[in-house]
Structure 1
Amino acid sequence: MKYRQPVFFLTVLIACFLLASGLNVADQSSTYSQSYPAVVCPPTLNGLNSQISISSGKTQYQRLENRSSKTLPFRILRFPVSKNSLVISAQGVTPVIWQSRSGSWAGGTICSGPEASQWFVGGTANVTTRGRLVLTNSGLSDALVDIQSYSENGKQPIKSVNLKSKSFMQLSLDSLAPGDKSLTIQVVPRSGRVNSFVIDEQGAGLRALGGDFVNSIPS
Structure 2
Amino acid sequence: MRETAYPTPVCTIDAILFRIRADKLEVALIRRPADARVYANVLALPGGFVHTDRDETLNDTLLRNLQSKVGLCPSYIAKLEFEGNISRDPEGWSITCPYLCLVDDSAPCLEHVHWHDVSDFLHDSPSLTLPFDHQQLIQKAFQRVYHRAKYSTEPNYFFKNPFTLSELQTVYEIVLGKPLHKKNFRDRIEESMSVEETGDSKIVKRSRAKLYTHKHPLKPHFFSRVMQGAFD
TM-score of the aligned structures, taking structure 2 as reference length:
0.27
Name which one, 1 or 2, has greater alpha-carbon Rg: 1
Question: Between Structure 1 and Structure 2, which shows a larger proportion of helix residues?
Answer: 2
Question: Between Structure 1 and Structure 2, which shows a larger proportion of strand residues?
Answer: 1
TM-score of the aligned structures, taking structure 1 as reference length:
0.28
